[in-house]
């Protein structure tokens, strides 16, 4: 059978949710028994998002093979079981890098290297490589917006794919905006019409239109869009803004998106089985209670910086039929000028659990240390991820072991007590460039530890990493003597992966990023257990507050 492709493009404005739309399409096709693969092309010139600011680009998602990719690949993994690697996310920068390397080697035999055919051929070869792994359908998202000069080579490449493969093997889905104009009190279709016209000007006729709006499209409006945009009326899909992103596949299913795709691709498949997704969404909308988590981070002004983290917490909460409430706390706002100044504690009161996520650089570190001290001393469940594990070790070294100058060489290279450091610093190895530990690494768990119990008694796990600095085992005896347990290490015992505080309701730090492997129907065990512990803390706190509040009768009698 010929390779089948679904191409997802966007128009009018960015951030309409192409990644979620593509992931939801993959979810629907999987629910019908098909194998899917997913791919994202990003038009920017960076080779990958690894060096881009979280404030501008958002989270860097990491795959098992250590690729630093766009955050949309996180959506792909959460909504599908597509096997993603560095081949599934390519940027203009990487495409040009490959072409220039070939040109320098003489692969083009002295020919003039041009956008067409050389750049477009490189893009098409990347698509074919991803589709060659046995997928029934490969879903390819083109980043940016139609009309952007950077996107043109990718759009030209998918236009050529249809010419080469035929209409029965390709589907073009275009996501546009249908805005509500308050002054006119109506939805307007003109932006969608112009976007489709722009796409048509480069030779691509959309097969399916997904119209993003914050209220339902009426039948007459769908007819109008279909007539002006040259698509079937049933191919005008309402992409309604919904409270939970996990409702998106169900909304698309009601609109018949999967059936349309199969019709256009000349494919047959069983009816969709969305029972688990429906149950998931039902739990999202009908929780038994709320759990309130405070996240103390460095990039909290832009929530996309912690996209997978927020979703993993949601997965853990929904698995317990709880509604997640998150408060983002800027770490710098918790810093104190004097050691005896504990005024920051007022910002941390009332949370059921506290989490410190990953990050780079020394900004906000003192605030994170204060938050960790509060969680440790007040017996509030604490979960530290990557930087959150490193700062937990530093906090205990300072405030329990008495090493007031304890630090990481990332924050203070001259610190006399480098609790966290680059392992190769002590070996005298100078490194430049890509020095991070990236991708999947094995971790051996200590029997009976909190982590081992969370993982169902497993003795060895595999998790994804993205960091440069490690726990310095020269301080192991001191910290374990103070109560810290090192409950996870690499199989060769070189790197510390998990630390815990036994006797605390939940105090765990991990060097890896568990959020990258959490799925809505398969919540990550560490997030699940953190949520369970946080909810127990909530119930205990509410019970304590209730017992401390005098009843109306006793007040009146006194």
Active site residues: 386, 513, 515
Distance of CA 429 to the CA centre of its chain: 33
Phi, psi (rounded to 5 degrees) for 59: -65, 145
Task: Specify the length of the chain in residues.
Answer: 558
* SS3 call for 477: helix
Phi, psi (rounded to 5 degrees) for 458: -65, 150
In degrees, rounded to 5, the angle at the alpha carbon of residue 238 between the alpha carbons of residues 234 and 239 is: 135
Rg (the chain; Cα; Å):
26
Cα separations (Å) of 191 from 55, 177, 178, 249, 351?
Answer: 28, 7, 7, 25, 44
Task: Give the integer Cα–Cα distance in Å for 417 and 334.
Answer: 23
Q: Which two tokens stand for residue 145?
A: 């917006």
Q: Which two tokens stand for residue 512?
A: 């890896």
In degrees, rounded to 5, the angle at the alpha carbon of residue 542 between the alpha carbons of residues 540 and 546 is: 115
* SS3 call for 42: strand
Taking the CA atoms of 386, 389, 393 and 396 in sequence, report the sign of the dihedral they define: positive
Contact (CB, 8 A) for 332 and 295: no
For 165, counting Cβ atoms within 10 Å of its Cβ (0-12 exposed, 13-18 middle, 19+ buried), the class is middle
402 contacts: CB under 8 Å, gap ≥ 6: none
In degrees, rounded to 5, the angle at the alpha carbon of residue 15 between the alpha carbons of residues 14 and 18 is: 95
Which residue shows structure tokens 């998202």? 141
- DSSP codes of every residue in 485-499: EEEEE-TTS-SEEEE
Which residue shows structure tokens 């993982």? 455
Phi, psi (rounded to 5 degrees) for 207: -90, -35
Cα separations (Å) of 163 from 47, 133, 166, 167, 558?
Answer: 29, 23, 6, 8, 87
């Amino acid at each position: 059978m010929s390779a089948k492709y679904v191409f997802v493009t966007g128009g009018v404005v960015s951030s309409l949710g192409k990644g979620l739309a593509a992931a939801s399409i993959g979810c629907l096709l999987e629910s019908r028994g098909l194998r899917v693969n997913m791919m994202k092309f990003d038009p920017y010139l960076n080779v990958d998002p690894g060096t881009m600011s979280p404030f501008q680009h958002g989270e860097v998602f990491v795959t098992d093979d250590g690729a630093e990719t766009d955050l949309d690949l996180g959506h792909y993994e959460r909504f599908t079981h597509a096997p993603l690697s560095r081949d599934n996310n390519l940027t203009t920068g990487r495409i040009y890098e490959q072409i220039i390397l070939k040109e320098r080697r003489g692969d083009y035999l002295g020919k003039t290297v041009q956008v067409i055919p050389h750049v477009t051929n490189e893009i098409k070869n990347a698509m074919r490589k991803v589709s060659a792994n046995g997928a029934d359908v490969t879903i390819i998202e083109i980043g940016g917006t139609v009309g952007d000069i950077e996107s043109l080579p990718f759009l030209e490449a998918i236009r050529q794919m249809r010419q080469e493969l035929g209409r029965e093997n390709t589907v073009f889905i275009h996501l546009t905006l249908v805005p509500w104009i308050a002054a006119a009190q109506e939805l307007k279709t003109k932006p969608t019409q112009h976007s489709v016209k722009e796409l048509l000007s480069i030779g691509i006729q959309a097969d399916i239109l997904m119209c993003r709006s914050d209220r339902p499209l009426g039948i007459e409006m769908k007819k109008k869009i279909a007539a002006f945009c040259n698509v079937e009326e049933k191919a005008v899909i309402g992409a309604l803004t919904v409270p939970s992103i996990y409702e998106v596949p169900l909304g698309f299913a009601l609109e018949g998106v999967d059936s349309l795709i199969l019709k256009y691709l000349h494919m047959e498949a069983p009816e969709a089985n969305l029972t688990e997704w429906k149950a998931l969404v039902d739990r999202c909308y009908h929780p038994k209670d709320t759990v309130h988590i405070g996240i103390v981070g460095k990039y909290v002004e832009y929530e996309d910086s912690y996209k997978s983290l927020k979703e993993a917490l949601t997965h853990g909460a929904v698995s317990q039929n709880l509604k997640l409430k998150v408060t983002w706390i800027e770490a710098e706002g918790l810093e104190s000028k004097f050691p005896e100044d504990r005024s920051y504690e007022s910002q941390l009161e009332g949370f059921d659990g506290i989490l410190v996520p990953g990050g780079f650089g020394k900004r906000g570190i003192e605030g994170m240390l204060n938050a960790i001290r509060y969680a440790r001393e007040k017996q509030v469940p604490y979960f530290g991820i990557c930087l959150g594990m490193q700062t937990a070790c530093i906090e205990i070294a300072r405030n329990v072991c008495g090493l007031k100058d304890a630090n990481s060489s990332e924050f203070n290279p001259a610190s006399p007590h480098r609790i966290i450091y680059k392992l190769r610093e002590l070996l005298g190895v100078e490194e430049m460039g890509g020095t991070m530990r990236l991708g999947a690494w094995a971790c051996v768990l200590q029997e009976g530890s909190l982590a081992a119990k969370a993982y169902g008694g497993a003795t060895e796990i595999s998790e994804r990493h993205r960091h440069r600095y490690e726990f310095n085992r020269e301080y192991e005896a001191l910290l374990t003597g103070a109560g810290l347990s090192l409950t996870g290490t690499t199989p060769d015992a070189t790197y510390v992966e998990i630390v815990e505080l036994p006797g605390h309701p939940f105090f765990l730090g991990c060097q890896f990023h568990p959020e990258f492997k959490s799925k809505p129907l398969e919540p990550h065990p560490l997030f699940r257990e953190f949520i369970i512990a946080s909810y127990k803390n909530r119930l205990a706190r509410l019970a304590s507050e209730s017992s401390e509040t005098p009843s109306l009768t006793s007040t009146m009698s006194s």
